[in-house]
Structure 1
Amino acid sequence: MRLTKLEHAALSIEKSGSRLFIDPGKFTTPITEAAGTVAIVITHEHDDHWTPEQLTRILARNPKTPIFTTPSAAEKIIAADLPDIGEVIDVSAGESVLVGGFDLAFFGGEHAVIHSSIPRIENVGVLVEHGALYYGGDAYSAPEGVDIDVLAVCANAPWMRIAESMDYIERVRPKRVLPVHEMLLAKVGKTLATTRLRESAERAGALLVDLQPFETLELD
């Protein structure tokens, strides 16, 4: 099984000729390599995690691909009236599904607080293949009692401090750490964030894997 890091929050996972996309949003280069897509996961409704244009590109090559997301994001996706759209499926914490050979389980429930004046929205994290990958979306929820190979960790966002991502790594203690959600950072900021995340990964006995866009990683 192979993971490809796209820009920002977007990830692609390939297994036995099938492909899963997670969070193809507006800070990600237009997706054109999408053959074999069997499922799309969108952790929440913000447009840096999905856009109608990105979904249209994927669905044009894979009509009727199911999309798994929160109820509020599902409403927005359905309202976009995309060509080739199939089932848009509401998911919440505690649910799991087997789709196209991928075992997915969902955790969390709410987006991290941005500011007291901004209402919190729904957010789900996704566990792929019983712990091969976990990505919490825009929150620090995580499954308990699960050995996680790769933990995708936010490097930057308006809702976070780097200390929170560092604490998250040390709490979850995965085998490997993958920084994501970084497209608002200049090069010097990305370097600093990666350095801090690496320090926490080392304290947790994990390896930080600093994938650049379109680089790949083999998953356990």
Structure 2
Amino acid sequence: MRITRHEHAALRLEHDGQTLLIDPGAFTAPLDGLSDVVGVIITHEHPDHWTAVHLDRILQAAPGTPIFSTAAVAAAADHLVTTVAPGQTYAVGAFSLRFFGGEHAVIHSSLPTIENLGVLVNDTFYYPGDSYALPDDVAVDMLAAPLGAPWLKIGEAMDFVLAVAPRRCFGTHDMTLSTIGRNMHRERLRWATEQHNGEFYDLDPGMSVDA
């Protein structure tokens, strides 16, 4: 399975000639090569993780593509969305999906708590959305860990990587960071990954890694 990073939190997973997209949002440039898309996962309702424009483009290229997300996204989207809860599993094309989590990380007490989904794909790759939700009892081969956000403290992100103990890891969710800040946070997550003899990858938008 090939994983390609796009801007911010958007990810493209390719396996057996099929494509799964995760979190194409407002900070992500228009995606191309969409005819092989068999599924879309939106981890939560914030616009940096999905836009109607991205969904329209995807479904024009691949009509009928199933979308998996929270109840809030299902209510807001103009397309049919399958509402997902933590603990549920689905199979879509060449991809098995197992969902975790439930709540977005706290930004501030003045803001309402919203739903958030973490997802394990093909029992190999884990992406937590905007949370530090752990994939219970799973040995994670590849982890996409958040690098920067209004809710993120880098020490907490490091603890998350230490808890998951992935064999391999790369950073995502980073458009709020300067180049200096991104590189600094990558080094922190690299350290955390290496504590369990894992390998950390510096992936910029458009770069890929095989899982």
Same-fold call, TM cutoff 0.5? yes
1:56 aligns with 2:48: no
Shift of 1:33: 2.1
Deviation digits for residues 81-128 of structure 1 (CA, Å, limit 9, x no counterpart): 3xxx4x310001000001112100000100000000000100010100
1:114 aligned counterpart, secondary structure: coil
| Equivalent residue in structure 2 for 1:97, among 75, 90, 94 | 90
Deviation digits for residues 137-169 of structure 1 (CA, Å, limit 9, x no counterpart): 000002122111111100000001000110001
What TM-score results when the alignment is normalised by the length of structure 1?
0.94
Q: Distance in 2 between matches of 1:201 and 1:148?
A: 12
1:107 aligns with 2:92: no
Asked if structure 2 preserves the Cα contact closer than 8 Å seen for 1:40 and 1:65, the reply is yes
1:28 matched residue in structure 2: 28
1:208 aligned counterpart, secondary structure: strand
Asked if structure 2 preserves the Cα contact closer than 8 Å seen for 1:26 and 1:50, the reply is yes
Shift of 1:72: 1.2
2:54 aligned counterpart, secondary structure: helix
1:188 matched residue in structure 2: 180
Deviation digits for residues 5-52 of structure 1 (CA, Å, limit 9, x no counterpart): 111100000111110000000111111221200000000000000001
Counterpart amino acid of 2:6?
Answer: L
Asked if structure 2 preserves the Cα contact closer than 8 Å seen for 1:169 and 1:204, the reply is no
Asked if structure 1 preserves the Cα contact closer than 8 Å seen for 2:142 and 2:168, the reply is yes
| Equivalent residue in structure 1 for 2:153, among 146, 151, 161 | 161
2:190 matched residue in structure 1: 198
Over aligned residues, Cα RMSD in angstroms?
0.9
2:99 aligned counterpart, secondary structure: strand
Asked if structure 2 preserves the Cα contact closer than 8 Å seen for 1:24 and 1:50, the reply is yes
Q: Distance in 2 between matches of 1:95 and 1:158?
A: 28
Asked if structure 1 preserves the Cα contact closer than 8 Å seen for 2:73 and 2:81, the reply is no
Q: Distance in 2 between matches of 1:13 and 1:34?
A: 12
1:211 aligns with 2:206: no
2:142 matched residue in structure 1: 150
Q: Report the number of matched residues.
A: 211
Counterpart amino acid of 1:125?
Answer: G
Stretches of structure 2 lacking an aligned partner (at least 5 in a row): none
2:163 aligned counterpart, secondary structure: helix
